[in-house]
Amino acid sequence: MTTLSTAILGYPRMGANRELKRALESYWRGDISADDLHQVGATIRKRNWDYQKKAGIRYIPSNDFSYYDQILDFSCFIGNIPPRFGYVSGPVDLDLYFSIARGNTKDSSNNQYAAEMTKWFDTNYHYIVPEFDEATEFSLTTTTPFDAYKEAKKWGVDTRPVIVGPLTYLSIGKSTDGSNKWALLDKLIAVYGDILKQFEAIGVTDIQIDEPIAVTKLNNTQKEGFKRAYDAIAAASSVRLHLTTYFGDLRDNQSLVYSLPVYSIHVDVTRLSTSFETVLAGFPADKQLSLGVVNGRNIWVNAYDDTIQKIQRAQAVISPDRIVVATSCSLLHVPVTLANETDIDESIKQWLVFADEKVHELVDIVTGFADPSADALGANRAVQNGRKTSALIHNNAVKTRLSQIKPLDYVRSSGFSDRSIKQKQLFNLPVFPTTTIGSFPQTDAVRKARRDFKNGGLSANEYESFLKDQIRDAVAFQEDIGLDVLVHGEFERNDMVEYFGEQLNGFAFTSYGWVQSYGSRCVKPPIIFGDVSRPKPMTVDWSVFAQSLTVKPMKGMLTGPVTILQWSFVRDDQPRKDTAMQIALAIRDEVCDLEKAGIGMIQIDEAALREGLPVHVSDWDAYLRWAVDTFRLVTGGVMDSTQIHTHMCYSEFNDIIEAIARMDADVISIETSRSHMALLDAFVKFNYPNDVGPGVYDIHSPRVPTVESMSDLLKKATKLLPVEHIWVNPDCGLKTRGWPEVKDALTHMITSAKQLRESHNVVSVRP
Ligand code: GLN
Ligand code: ZN
């Protein structure tokens, strides 16, 4: 007989068929009413609760649902509305809520721009950043979390409501007036007291308080804040507090967290920096230990034997009736169900589990713990063994090649200054050379052709000639407006990662494996299940065709290994680094093939390099070392005269400028237009030696920047960087924009570059 219990920290909320996405977008278009939207939400919530209850889960979450983002929900709940929205008091309605998330789309004359959005720790989920200023007050405005509890109760499900904890909430928000946001902690603590009392009043016995910030490096204010907050919150009611930490282990914060006066502590044991025994050491015997064993961040079948062994070891310090078997974090980060995946290879499918399947894993683990002869254990063992030895996964040629990488493979023959002279001679570009980041508008026609081709409505030949026409037009357009370095336009790509994954061995794709990225936006990450190799060139034909249309340099366009890794579900049976290296070898081959085919400039996008930074700073160096190594491996095999570009957007470079420099790309293009070149700071301070293309055109906005505004930005850049190192380009790719704006904006950009050339009157030769 067992007394273990089970917990789920949160469930996906988009619905198995992205019902919520469709409803949200219809609501925003004005096609459905708020009631209709709420109906869709209620259906998804009920379905999730029923599913978990039927499986016998002990702690089922409520208030894990959201119409946009749970952090924004909490801000609205406690009345922390950015002052520009003019909120005074009373309930926060849907329109105000969505205005904070998306900007006031109904009235653009006012200043009600959207709140900032940023990545939730190291996930691909984006939350709405809380804003604080000196005058911020908190008081409860809505009853949503209470209503959610009652709603579940009405369906017969007694839930454990989830709220974000005060330390995480304050830590992830920003002060908008330079005031110290930590001065608000006491006010915030008070409002948590109110929340708990109200939960208690409606019959809630247990609350999940999410404090993922506890796995990061905490400063003294935060540490002291943890003590102060939890002492006060614990005293405010008799609701049992379940403190949940995830996305890593507690490290230096362990004794602090273990000493907090809470009922239960949840630790993510799928991402331990040390031994499992360390987690157990000093765990207070009077608390409940929630073990996050079922990984909420990936889609691989749990190894039951290992998990059960952990639980048995935990038993040595704590009695089983105080052990909870749980998901490592919310299941928000995985798709809903495997049930509809009929296209994926059956042998790969048996290695996968999505949210629904993970619910059953928890139950199986508890069953298997009580009964070592349970069928589920045998079946799981068979799957594990099958995976370990599968010919689908293991490719000896790839493993051998990986083991034979030599130090010289990471280095280009000459340093930047020598390469640069050769490249200048070869390309003979003017100063302030102009280029774009790769993609041109993905028009309805482009998307339709791709769809038709996939559905069989368009033959391969027809599709190819359609794409060639697009490229022809794009090249003619770029020559017409006078760009110096051209691109083919990426019309053949739906997505910069999927396009490569589809052509590489070791990748699989789902039909409905959607995961929320932000608001109604979902992504369908590829699954990297096995050793990665490149059966044949992936982009060479397109680049060669494009180059044949012009005498100007045509930039080849590739996605880098870290970005491919970061935006996929990555296999868990080897270190991420090894998988990244395998991808790097494949992309390296593509780079060399492009060079052989006469493509003299090659851009390798690493849009996700920075977001791959580990949650804990102690792990940054190790990550940056291999991340940069993969880039160097990709580019280490080309001639000096081949010009390597890279591109990063949304990036904040101060923390990582050394790593960026070690990548040693000949040219890096970055996003700077919104920050008015402030992002260049890091490059200036570091004395960054290679070429930089600071973006002068904010491609996230439909606005067409004027010549003057771009000239202003460029002039700023010339004050900060050596003139002969500056490139002129937009912030990012242009795929989301329309042709007319692109045409005007790029024409302005070129005019601005030309004016600058004249005023600088510099020749294009380096000293
Ligand atoms: N080359 C890609 C494009 O232009 C880069 C996109 C990105 O950085 N996110 O679309
Ligand atoms: Zn970009």
Task: Give the pLDDT confidence of 547-590 residue by residue, as tens digits.
Answer: 999 999 999 999 999 999 999 999 999 999 999 999 999 999 99
pLDDT of residue 676: 77
Of all residues in the chain, what percent carry a pLDDT higher than 90?
92
Give distance in angstroms: CA of 620 to centre of ligand 1.
25
Ligand 1 contacts CB of residue 496 (under 6 A) = yes
Per-residue tokens: 692: 């930089």
Residue with CA nearest ligand 1 atom 6: 733
Give distance in angstroms: CA of 642 to centre of ligand 2.
22
Q: Does the global pTM surpass 0.85?
A: yes
Q: Each residue of 396-449: pLDDT tens digit?
A: 999 999 999 999 999 999 999 999 999 999 999 999 999 999 999 999 999 999
Give yes or no for residue 2 having a pLDDT over 60: no
5-13+46-70+140-389, what's its fold? Answer: TIM Barrel (3.20.20)
Ligand 1 contacts CB of residue 437 (under 6 A) = yes
Active site residue 360: no
CATH class of 418-450+476-759: alpha beta
H or E stretch at 326? strand 323-327
Give distance in angstroms: CA of 648 to centre of ligand 2.
5
Q: What is the mean pLDDT of the segment spanning 652-674?
A: 92
Ligand 1 contacts CB of residue 58 (under 6 A) = no
Instruction: Determine the residue of 124, 436, 437, 649 to mutate for testing ligand 1's pocket, defined as the one with the most ligand atoms within 8 A of the Cβ atom.
Output: 437
pLDDT of residue 66: 98
Q: Provide the mean pLDDT of the chain.
A: 95
Q: What is the mean pLDDT of the segment spanning 694-704?
A: 89
pLDDT of residue 104: 82
Exactly one of 38, 360, 700, 760 is catalytic; name it. Answer: 700
Rounded CA separation 287/309 (Å)? 21
Give yes or no for residue 88 having a pLDDT over 60: yes
pLDDT of residue 767: 35
Give yes or no for residue 48 having a pLDDT over 60: yes
Rounded CA separation 321/478 (Å)? 69
Return the domain boundaries, the chain.
5-13+46-70+140-389, 418-450+476-759
Rounded CA separation 33/68 (Å)? 16
- Banded pLDDT at 765 (limits 50, 70, 90): very low
pLDDT of residue 753: 98
Q: Each residue of 363-398: pLDDT tens digit?
A: 999 999 999 999 999 999 999 999 999 999 999 999
Do domains 5-13+46-70+140-389 and 418-450+476-759 share one topology? The answer is yes
Q: What is the mean pLDDT of the segment spanning 691-720?
A: 92
pLDDT of residue 762: 55
Q: What is the mean pLDDT of the segment spanning 114-123?
A: 91
Ligand 1 contacts CB of residue 735 (under 6 A) = yes
pLDDT of residue 108: 64
Residue with CA nearest ligand 1 atom 3: 733
How open is the CA angle 518-561-394, to the nearest 5 degrees?
A: 110
What Cα–Cα distance (Å) separates residue 375 from each residue in 266, 364, 380? 28, 9, 9
For residues 582 and 529, the answer to whether their CB atoms sit within 8 Å is no
Ligand 1 contacts CB of residue 439 (under 6 A) = yes
Q: Each residue of 328-347: pLDDT tens digit?
A: 999 999 999 999 999 999 99
How open is the CA angle 756-757-761, to the nearest 5 degrees?
A: 120
Phi, psi angle pair for 751, to nearest 5°: -60, -45
What Cα–Cα distance (Å) separates residue 435 from each residue in 337, 550, 678? 43, 14, 21
For residues 134 and 35, the answer to whether their CB atoms sit within 8 Å is no
